[in-house]
Amino acid sequence: MTEVYMGYECTVAIGTNGTASTDEEMVEISDVTAVEYSNSVEKDEWYAFRNKGKKTSIITGREDSISVTAKAIKGDTALRYLVKTAMTKSGSDAMTKVSLTIPMGFKIEGPAAIEVSNPGTSDANTVPDVEITLTFSGDYAVTDMEETV
């Protein structure tokens, strides 16, 4: 039988004290239903004579973000912190420490800007989804968890 990674093995933890959150202040979002990681890059490209018309490309910048969908469950400290921060803060105060661990064994951790596109509104007979985008900023780290064992 082939072993596979399952999406539900992702964990998303949020610092409840902004970007200065300690490990003890990191709290997992309770009822995550979807996590989507996005990486976009800035490139400089050119066609040098020495490459005989073939393109040379170099990555000069990058943006990593995660989109999280979670059910609005009472008592979810991390989710409430994100919604409150996005709705009441701006500038660097609208950021927090984020940790995403993905099933393939990678951990992305560092400061991230918080953007809430749906704070938990929906039809009357459904448990609302909260939709959040967390864009990593500045000095964040990507760790290969298998290499650190």
Q: What is the pLDDT of residue 4?
A: 82
Q: What is the pLDDT of residue 86?
A: 95
pTM above 0.75, yes or no: yes
Cα angle value 72/77/37 (rounded, 5°): 70
Average pLDDT, the chain: 92
CA atoms in the 13 A half-sphere facing the CB of 30? 13
Q: In angstroms, how far apart are the furthest CA atoms of the chain?
A: 65
- With a CB cutoff of 8 Å and minimum separation 6, the contacts of 53 are 47
- Tell me: pLDDT of 148 over 70: no
- Tell me: pLDDT of 147 over 90: no
pLDDT in tens, 16-73: 999 999 999 999 999 999 999 999 999 999 999 999 989 999 999 989 999 999 999 9
Length of the chain as a residue count = 149
User: In which residue are the tokens 């400089």 written?
Assistant: 44
The answer to whether 86 and 132 are in contact (CB under 8 A) is yes
- Collapse the DSSP code of 53 into the 3-class scheme (helix H, G, I; strand E, B; otherwise coil) and give the result: coil
- Tell me: pLDDT of 85 over 70: yes
User: Judging by beta carbons within 10 Å of its beta carbon (0-12, 13-18, 19+), is residue 30 exposed, middle or buried?
Assistant: middle
